[in-house]
Amino acid sequence: MAHDHAHSHTPDRSTERGALKAALILIVAFMVAEVAAGVFAHSLALLSDAAHMLTDAVALAIALVAARLASRPASGTMTYGLGRAEILSAQANGVTLLILSVLIVIDAISRLISPPQVRGGLVLIVAIAGVAVNLLAARILARGSGHERSLNVEGSYRHIVTDLYGFIATAVAAIVILTTGFSRADPIASLIIAGILLHAAYSLLLASGRVFMEAAPAGLDPDQIGRELAAQPGVVEVHDLHVWEVTSGFPALSAHVVVRSGDDCHERRRQLQQMVAARFDVKHTTLQVDHEAAPQRPLQIEVPTHE
């Protein structure tokens, strides 16, 4: 029997932390201005966007703390470190998006029934500024996280992107109000924003839930991995195969492999680990390799003869 681990660590999060910090400062500064404008203009769409920007700020702050925790090395009872703090952050972001969307829907329905007078010009100016601010924040997060975002940063990024869509909807509503005087365009825009938030919440909760339930990472098929392992030279059987994701960008695999009697099980294990890393990009593997039972000779009993 042989055990071995090929360790793979999550990418360096230092650049992600810098991007999260810059985006947080930008969002908080604009949120304060938007709240004042929303109150003055009597615009639910603006206040909805401001509330969403508040959740953006909270999400970015939580993500920043989670990224710091995740960068700490494994120690004591936390043998994988605190990497899943990022997944907790992503799930918290999903929950806040879900709650916020429900609150916006309730208020929007009330304003559809009894629409207030909305200052369309001010709403349009703030909405256009909001589009610019969120485009900049999204660009900061996208460039600061590289090609593959952690689920933690992905949660914050989706907050920003849904806010961007919300500002676009608010700008359209403001144009409708200015050109037609149709004040109900404001709560209708809020309902569109709520729908975008619900979609983002569902995606985040689904992705973070998969990690907590230790499902195989998206894009990795355990059955295919099992077949590939079983098809390698010298492998007789593969069972107890598990593929899961410790945290974003940290897939792991364990399996019990039976090889032919007389094979070099240590060399076979190294070959299997190299194959899994090359074909499936899973570098943290734990393989228990045993030899198949040697065939036993049939028991021969000699019966004495009497002369």
Residues 121 and 260 placed together within one structural domain of the fold: no
Residues 243 and 208 in one domain: no
**24 and 126 within one domain:** yes
Residue 136 clears pLDDT 80, i.e. is over it: yes
CATH number at residue 274: 3.30.70.1350
Kindly state whether residues 158 and 274 are assigned to the same domain.
Answer: no
pLDDT recorded at residue 223: 93
Residue 173: what pLDDT?
Answer: 87
In terms of pLDDT, which residue wins out, 42 or 263?
Answer: 263
Greatest mean pLDDT among 48-52, 167-171, 249-253, 285-289: 285-289
* Residue pLDDT, tens place only, 210-234: 888 888 988 889 999 999 999 999 8
Residue 304 lies in a domain: no
pLDDT band at 299 (very low <50, low <70, confident <90, very high): low
**Boundary (domain end) residue, out of 177, 212, 247:** 212
Residue 245's pLDDT is what? 87
Q: Distance (Å, rounded) from C-alpha 305 to C-alpha 27?
A: 99
Asked if 184 and 253 sit in the same domain, the reply is no
Residue 273 pLDDT > 80, yes or no? yes
Same domain, 243 and 101: no
Last residue of a domain, one of 212, 245, 267: 212
Q: pLDDT tens, 233-247?
A: 989 999 999 999 887
Q: Model confidence over 78-134: pLDDT tens digits?
A: 766 677 777 887 788 788 888 888 888 888 888 888 877 777 888 888 889 888 988
Residue 10 has a pLDDT of 47
Question: Does residue 299 lie within any of the structural domains?
Answer: no
Is the pLDDT at 15 greater than 90? The verdict is: no
Q: How many CB atoms lie within 10 A of CB 92?
A: 19
Which residues is 288 bridged to in the sheet? 256
Q: What is the CATH number of the domain that holds 92?
A: 1.20.1510.10
Residue-averaged pLDDT of the chain = 80
Residue 121 and residue 21 share a domain: yes
57 and 182 both lie in a single domain? yes
On whether residue 6 sits in a domain, the answer given is: no
Cα 78 to Cα 69: distance, rounded to the nearest angstrom: 12
Task: Name the band, by pLDDT with cuts 50, 70 and 90, for residue 270.
Answer: very high
- End-to-end Cα, the chain, rounded Å: 53
What tens digit of pLDDT does each residue of 157-193 get? 777 887 788 888 888 988 998 999 888 888 888 888 8
Q: Provide DSSP, the chain.
A: -B--B---PPPP-HHHHHHHHHHHHHHHHHHHHHHHHHHHHT-HHHHHHHHHHHHHHHHHHHHHHHHHHHTSPPBTTBTTTTTTHHHHHHHHHHHHHHHHHHHHHHHHHHHHHSPPP--HHHHHHHHHHHHHHHHHHHHHHHHHH-SS--HHHHHHHHHHHHHHHHHHHHHHHHHHHHHH--TTHHHHHHHHHHHHHHHHHHHHHHHHHHHHTTPPPTT--HHHHHHHHHTSTTEEEEEEEEEEEEETTEEEEEEEEEE-TTS-HHHHHHHHHHHHHHHH---EEEEEEEEPPPPPPPP--PPP---
Beta bridge partner(s), residue 251: 245
Q: Strand 284-291: give its sheet, edge to edge.
A: 235-247, 250-259, 284-291
User: Is 166 found in the same domain as 140?
Assistant: yes
The total domain count for the chain is 2
Range of the domain at 279: 222-291
- Please give the C-alpha separations between residue 278 and each of 9, 272, 281, 282, in angstroms, as whole numbers: 16, 10, 6, 8
Q: Sorting pLDDT into bands at 50, 70 and 90, what band is 292?
A: confident
| Residue 8 pLDDT | 41
Stretch 198-206: mean pLDDT, rounded?
A: 86
Largest CA distance in the chain: 123
pLDDT at 59 over 50: yes
Using CA atoms, how far apart are residues 38 and 43, in angstroms rounded to an integer?
5
Q: Is it the case that residue 252 has pLDDT exceeding 80?
A: yes
Within a domain: 192: yes
Q: Please check whether residue 160 is in contact with residue 137, taking contact to mean a CB–CB distance below 8 angstroms.
A: yes
- Overall pTM > 0.75: no
pLDDT of residue 208: 86
pLDDT of residue 303: 58
Q: Give domain status of residue 140, yes or no.
A: yes
Is residue 158 domain-shared with residue 267, that is, in the same domain? no
- Best-predicted range by mean pLDDT (71-75, 189-193, 271-275): 271-275
pLDDT at 3: 44
Domain-terminating residue out of 212, 242, 262: 212
Do both 23 and 164 map to the same domain?
yes
Query: How far out from the chain centre does Cα 155 lie?
Result: 6
- For 143, half-sphere exposure in the C-beta direction (CA atoms, 13 angstrom radius) is 8
If asked whether residues 144 and 261 sit together in one domain, one would say no
Domain membership of residue 298 (yes or no) is no
Q: Does some domain include residue 301? A: no
What pLDDT is stored for residue 2 in this prediction? 44
Is 101 within the bounds of a domain?
yes
Using alpha carbons, list the distances in angstroms from residue 84 to 10, 17, 88, 245: 11, 16, 6, 10
